[in-house]
């Protein structure tokens, strides 16, 4: 299984931990259904251009989540009158997102405690 990878623009490539891309995709789709290109743009804008999702990671990740029934996909027409495949999060996907978010928060808290300067 390949690790999802995210490029941070203008800096060196850095591997994100497993599941970060999925979490961001699920969270983005949780706000509103989107197609692939829109997802890339959305994540870039939200991260203030810090994160650039690599298409080579995004599409396989979307397929994996489709298979795991975290998402559904259907062909629709975009506002710019283009045929696009729009992804929508399922109930299972929402549950999955919540679980991942809470364990992610736990982990961040832990990492933060370890990295913060020792007190006293």
Partner 1 sequence: MISFRQIFKRSQIHDDLAEEIQQHLAEEIESLVAGGMNRRDAEFAARRRFGNTTLIEEQGSEAWRMPNIEGWLSDLRFALRRLKASPGFTLTAVTTLALGIGANVVVFSVLNGLILRPLGVPDAKNLYQISHGKNGGDAQAYPDYRDFRDRDPSFSGIMAYKILTAGMSIDNATVRSWGFAATGNYFDVLGVQPALGRFFHASDEHGLGSAPYVVLSDDFWRRQFGARSDVLGKAVKLNGHPFTVIGVAQRGFRGTDVFFWPDYWMPVVNAEQVTGWSDFCCRDHIEFMVMGRLKPGIAPQRATESLNALAAQMAREDKKDDGLTLRVREPGPAGNENDPVKKGLLLIMLLAGLVLLAACANLASIFAARAADRAGELAVRMAIGASRWIVLRQLLTEAVLVSLMGGLLGSIFARQLLQSLSSWQPFGDFPTRLLVVPDASVYVVAIGLSLASGILFGLLPARQVWRTDVVQAIKTGYVWMESFRRFAMRDVLLAIQIVVCTLLVTASAVAIRGMERAMHVALGFNPQGVTVAQADLNMAGYTSDSALPAQKRILEQAQAMPGVTVATISDDMPFSGGGGQWFVYRWGTTDFVPAHMSFAAATFQVAPGYLHTVQTPLLAGRDFTWHDDKNAPNVAIVNQTFARMLYGDSTPIGQKFALWATAKYQIVGEVEDGRYHAVGEKPQPMMMMPLAQGIGGYMSTAATVLVRSKLPQDQVASALHRMLSHELPGTPFMVRSWSDSVDLSLIPMRAITVVLGVMGLLAAVLAMTGIFGMASYSVAKRMKEQGIRIALGAKRPQVMLAVLGRPFLLLICGSMLGLGAGLLTSRVVAHLGSLATPSDPLVMFSVCLAMILIGVVATWIPARRMLAIDPAQLLREA
Question: Closest by alpha carbon to 46, among 27, 70, 71, 63?
Answer: 27
> CB–CB of 25/15 below 8 Å?
no
Binder among 5, 84, 88, 90 for partner 1 (CB under 8 A) = 84
| Nearer CB in complex with partner 1: 77/108 | 77
User: CB of 66: closest distance to partner 1 in angstroms?
Assistant: 8
- Residue 54 as a binder of partner 1 (CB under 8 A): the answer is yes
| Nearer CB in complex with partner 1: 49/55 | 55
Residue 40's CB is within 10 A of a number of other CB atoms, namely: 17
Binder among 8, 20, 30, 37 for partner 1 (CB under 8 A) = 37
> CB–CB of 49/2 below 8 Å?
no
């Amino acid at each position: 299984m390949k690790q999802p990878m995210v490029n941070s623009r203008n800096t060196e490539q850095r591997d994100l931990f497993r599941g970060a891309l999925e979490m961001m995709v699920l969270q983005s789709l949780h706000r509103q259904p989107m197609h692939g290109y829109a997802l890339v743009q959305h994540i870039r804008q939200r991260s203030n251009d810090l994160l650039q999702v690599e298409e080579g990671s995004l599409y396989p990740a979307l397929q994996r989540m489709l298979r795991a029934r975290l998402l559904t996909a259907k062909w629709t027409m975009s506002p710019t009158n283009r045929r696009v495949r729009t992804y929508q999060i399922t109930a299972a996907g929402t549950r999955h997102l919540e679980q991942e978010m809470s364990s992610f928060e736990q982990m961040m808290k832990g990492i933060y405690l370890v990295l913060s300067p020792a007190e006293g």
